[in-house]
Structure 1
């Protein structure tokens, strides 16, 4: 690979931005294509590249008598859970089962403990402090389940402004209505607020914390696999 192209690729990967190295197998020429940018390729090849970026799977594509290898580089999904509650314990187990990175954040030191969350990244601190060193991005799912506005609201605002892949918040429709008012008062547009999933998770009539966790992970996967290529 050309050293200059490799340098550009490493910059994109370090910034957790998806991209693809497209190689023309007839002559070996490489090209770096970012998921969003001026270098986006149009037509059938462009559609194949965007499909590879959505799935995260590399592929070989034939078009107009030429064969291309599309090497997709997609950041790993990261889940940030605000609130070290029973739902979070189940979320941690399911996330590990599907090979997702998960962080649990809660300033309540009695809840955010290694004993309650073995082999999981647990941060017993305020979300604002955690986010100073762990910024959100478009491949992050933010799950707010502390059910305490003093804990949940600030990271929700950060997540919506960062255009996170998924933003979900626990609570009834009445609770969410009040949350919407607070987010609007904080200057968040209705368009961004509408991206918040609440009641959180797919509607599977979940009743227990474990079932709610299943609904949340399922909804995150749905959003991840159906997001557009823009």
Structure 2
């Protein structure tokens, strides 16, 4: 790999941007694809990025190209150190997500309840800028408290998180929508919020709710278009 291409790749990785190195086989010519839009290999590159796996493809001209995928590690930021979070955090980490939990309520946000988790006993307005949300971050608001959930949701939408979900009934979300509209959030952005959060699997216990949330997050990460 040429030094100039390696430098570009390292810069993309440092900035948590997806990158694909396309290598023509057997010649070995390489190029870096940061934005596949309009690229001759757009469709296979997007498919490889969704799967998060490198692969060899055949072009329309009959050439073979190896697509080396470099993806930022997925992250999950949870607002709310609640029972669902206690189940969701270790499940998400087992699937390779880096997890952080934010909750200013120090009675809930304790290390004994969330061992070995990046725990921020702070208000979202304080904690989230330091966490630097991005398009490879999933965000779940689970407190049921608008003073805590709403600022986090606003920041997650602004940052373009690939998944934004919020706990609560449809009635709860209708009231949330009115608050976010009053705060200046565009309707199309509010429509991105998955609420009620999680896939509709009839979940009842905290563990089952966590499972439904993680399944919905996985679908948003891996499937093309809306999950």
Q: Normalising to structure 1: TM-score of the pair?
A: 0.94
Q: Aligned pair count? A: 224
Q: C-alpha distance in 1, partners of 2:23/2:96?
A: 29
Q: Is the 8 A contact 1:26 1:66 kept in 2?
A: no
1:1-230 mapped onto 2 (5 Å cutoff) = 1-36=1-36, 40-42=38-40, 45-63=41-59, 64-228=61-225
Counterpart contact for 2:81–2:108, Cα < 8 Å? yes
Contact 1:80 1:102 in 2 (8 A): yes
RMSD: 1.2
Please give the alpha-carbon distance, in whole angstroms, between the structure 1 residues aligned to 2:42 and 2:160. Answer: 24
Q: Which runs of 5+ in 2 are unaligned?
A: none
Indicate the SS of the match to 1:111: coil
Query: Match of 1:72, SS?
Result: strand
Q: 8 Å contact 1:173–1:199 — kept in the other structure? A: yes
1:100-131 Cα shifts (integer Å, max 9, x gaps): 11111101111111100112111111111111
Is the 1:35–1:53 contact (alpha carbons within 8 Å) kept by the matching residues of 2?
no
1:181-204 per-residue CA deviation (whole Å, 9 max, x = no partner) reads 011111111111001011100001
The Cα of 1:222 is off from its aligned counterpart by: 0.7
**CA shift at 1:36, angstroms?**
4.9
Contact kept, 8 Å, 2:137 with 2:161, in 1: the verdict is yes
**Runs of 4+ that moved beyond 3 A:** none
Task: Quote the Cα distance in structure 1 between the aligned partners of 2:180 and 2:130.
Answer: 23
SS at match of 2:122: coil
Residue by residue over 1:176-225, the C-alpha shift from the partner in whole angstroms, topping out at 9 and shown as x without a partner, is 11100011111111111001011100001111111110000000001111
TM-score normalised according to structure 2 size: 0.95
Residue 134 (structure 1) shift:
1.1
